Amino acid sequence: MAAAEALSAIGIAHLELREPPLDGSFGASDRPPFAPAIRSAFNGVLILNSDYDFDRARTDVASGGADAIAFGRPFIANPDLPTRFAKGQTLAEDNFGTWFTQGEEGYIDYEPLQRNE
């Protein structure tokens, strides 16, 4: 929290906070969310991340808990993620087996939906 206050005081434009929830699927927290305290301490744009789906993202932005949400795994598996959200389309699952590998597989080979899907 002190760090967020200090960054706010020197005019840092935005913070992105990765905070896995208690039931997180990519790491899990052992305490209630700290993001609200950061929100109060930091005056710039706050971007939250980890285990968000579209509904949870909309809820947190609409409630003022965040200015924006960053998506990691959903964006890896869905290169057209904003379009899928906008159209309510099904999301592809990311493949854990290709995480942090060195080649193209698992990074640039997920297909966008066809225009008429």
Stretch that binds ligand FMN, among 5-13, 56-64, 65-73, 78-86 (CB under 6 A): 65-73
Binding piece for ligand FMN, criterion CB under 6 A, among 7-15, 32-40, 69-77, 82-90: 69-77
**Residue 37, C-beta contacts closer than 8 angstroms, at least 6 positions apart:** 1, 4
Pick the closer one to ligand FMN by CB: 34 or 99: 99
What are the backbone angles phi and psi of residue 16, rounded to the nearest 5°?
A: -115, 125
DSSP 41-93: H--SEEEEESS--HHHHHHHHHTTS-SEEE-SHHHHH-TTHHHHHHHTPPPPP
Comparison of 9 and 16: residue with beta carbon closer to ligand FMN: 16
- Tokens, residue 102: 């060195």
Please, are residues 61 and 30 in contact by the beta-carbon 8 Å criterion?
A: no
**Nearest CB to ligand FMN, comparing residues 9 and 101:** 101
Site string for ligand FMN, 23-42 (x = CB under 6 A): ---x----------------
Interface residues with ligand FMN (CB under 6 A) are 18, 26, 49-52, 71-74, 76, 99-100
